[in-house]
Amino acid sequence: MKAMVIEKYGEHVPLLLKDRPMPVVGENDVLVEIHTASLNPIDRKIKEGKLKFLLHYEMPLILGNDFSGVVVETGDKVDQFKPGDEVYGRPRKNRIGTLAEYIAVHQDDISLKPTNLNFEEATSIPLVGLTVYQAFHDILKLQKGQKILIHAGSGGVGTFAIQLAKLMGAYVATTASEQGYELVKSLGADHIINYKRENFEQLLEGYDAVLDTLGGDVLRKSFQVLKPGGKIVSVSGLPNAKFGKEASLGWFKTILLSLVSRKLTAIEKKTQTNYHFLFMKPSGTQLREIKILLEEKRLIPVIDRVFEFANAPQAMDYLDSGRAKGKVIVSIKQRYQE
């Protein structure tokens, strides 16, 4: 099969279209012919080797973290799917590789795709949808009437997060540029802050929650908008000792995480808030919950641009540019697109 691979880690390492062996299908696995995949910031981090502390991969490595496609084969113990089913999902972190013609995934990690979405629309959902779902339901436990700040509202995570937060009855502030203003407004954002001209930390206070997708100074300043007892979930900040314990990384790595995140921990204590690093987990069950909301049109996919498979390197460059409003999609099997 054809696949987009890297042969080593590095910022300027090229994505190469190569022939790779067909995936091995385990007894609980589903073999999927991939029609579309989406790109996410985690793909860039993996490519550059920034997640080697948490994830170990053999080279050459097929990139890609979510997909939609059609089941072509099932393992002996698979009882949830059959050949011909249209599915979408996010494979486990040790089984990534959706920039390919086929992938074998555990049946628990996928769901039937929403019936009202085409493959391009469906593939825009799994990684960002699960990330936001787990942030809001499992960690923040977001409640009706609470106030949340969502950074980078016009990005892939942000566009989904604004919609889900509004569905849950929250008041939503978000940061966006002038180019993203109309998009985030249309998704329901209550307070839009132009991050190029305004300082969000000077305009907001007393918030219950923050969803951070940027890390760095933005994350550190975000503590200032929270009320005591407020919570921050970050997908781009530093993992801390709390995460190390929850992820069972062992005492050595947990101590290292405690050391590298000590400044964040100090801010957390000073502001009497709670910081959580989120490393999203695959879940077919949660994808089915999201599927219902999509089929009821209470959530809508937001896509910026679709690239052909051969142009996946250009798609990665476009994602890296920071200009994308919504998701960047790679069409693996274009003739199936609606």
What is the per-residue DSSP string for 91-140?
Answer: --GGG---SBSEEEEEGGGEEEPPTTS-HHHHHTSHHHHHHHHIIIIIII
- In angstroms, rounded to a whole number, what is the distance separating the alpha carbons of residues 194 and 178? 7
Query: Which of 17-26, 249-258, 265-274, 305-314 bottoms out in mean pLDDT, i.e. has the lowest?
Result: 249-258
The percentage of the chain sitting over the pLDDT mark of 70, rounded to a whole number, equals: 99
The H or E element spanning position 61 is: strand 61-62
| pLDDT computed for residue 14 by the predictor | 94
Handedness of CA 242, 157, 283, 59 (dihedral sign): negative
Residues 6+ apart with CB under 8 A from 87: 30, 32, 68, 69, 70, 71, 81, 110, 111, 112, 113
The ranges assigned to domains in the chain are 2-125+301-336, 128-277
Q: Are strands 86-89 and 66-74 parallel, antiparallel or unpaired?
A: antiparallel
Q: Are strands 16-19 and 2-6 parallel, antiparallel or unpaired?
A: antiparallel
Q: Are strands 327-331 and 303-308 parallel, antiparallel or unpaired?
A: parallel
Cβ distance 3 to 62 under 8 Å?
A: yes
What value does the mean pLDDT take over residues 117-123?
Answer: 98
∠ at Cα 257 (212, 38), nearest 5°? 45
pLDDT, one tens digit per residue, over 289-309 is 999 999 999 999 999 999 999
Predicted confidence (pLDDT) at residue 338 exceeds the cutoff of 60: no
Give the pLDDT band (50/70/90) at residue 336. very low
- In angstroms, rounded to a whole number, what is the distance separating the alpha carbons of residues 45 and 43? 5
In 223-311, where does DSSP find H-type helix? 241-246, 251-260, 262-271, 284-295
What value does the mean pLDDT take over residues 311-324?
Answer: 91
Cβ distance 207 to 230 under 8 Å?
A: yes
Predicted confidence (pLDDT) at residue 96 exceeds the cutoff of 90: yes
| pLDDT computed for residue 181 by the predictor | 95
Predicted confidence (pLDDT) at residue 15 exceeds the cutoff of 80: yes
| CATH number assigned to the domain with residue range 2-125+301-336, chosen from the 4 options 1.50.10.20, 1.20.1250.20, 3.90.180.10, 3.40.50.1820 | 3.90.180.10
Taking each helix axis from N to C terminus, what angle separates 126-133 and 156-167, rounded to the nearest 10 degrees?
A: 50
Query: What b-and-e string marks burial along 137-155, b requiring 16 or more CB atoms within 10 Å of the CB?
Result: eebbebeeebbbbbbbbbb
- In angstroms, rounded to a whole number, what is the distance separating the alpha carbons of residues 89 and 78? 16
The percentage of the chain sitting over the pLDDT mark of 90, rounded to a whole number, equals: 89
Q: List the structure tokens of 324.
A: 């994308």
Give the pLDDT band (50/70/90) at residue 337. very low
| pLDDT computed for residue 228 by the predictor | 97
pLDDT, one tens digit per residue, over 175-204 is 999 999 999 999 999 999 999 999 999 999
Q: CATH topology of 2-125+301-336 equal to that of 128-277?
A: no
| pLDDT computed for residue 153 by the predictor | 96
| pLDDT computed for residue 334 by the predictor | 63
Q: List the structure tokens of 280.
A: 């999203």
What value does the mean pLDDT take over residues 261-278?
Answer: 95
- In angstroms, rounded to a whole number, what is the distance separating the alpha carbons of residues 315 and 329? 8
Q: Which residue type, as a one-letter code, is found at position 97? A: G
Give the fold, CATH level 3, of 128-277.
Answer: Rossmann fold (3.40.50)
Cβ atoms within 10 Å of 107's Cβ, excluding its own? 22
Predicted confidence (pLDDT) at residue 335 exceeds the cutoff of 70: no
pLDDT, one tens digit per residue, over 147-169 is 999 999 999 999 999 999 999 99
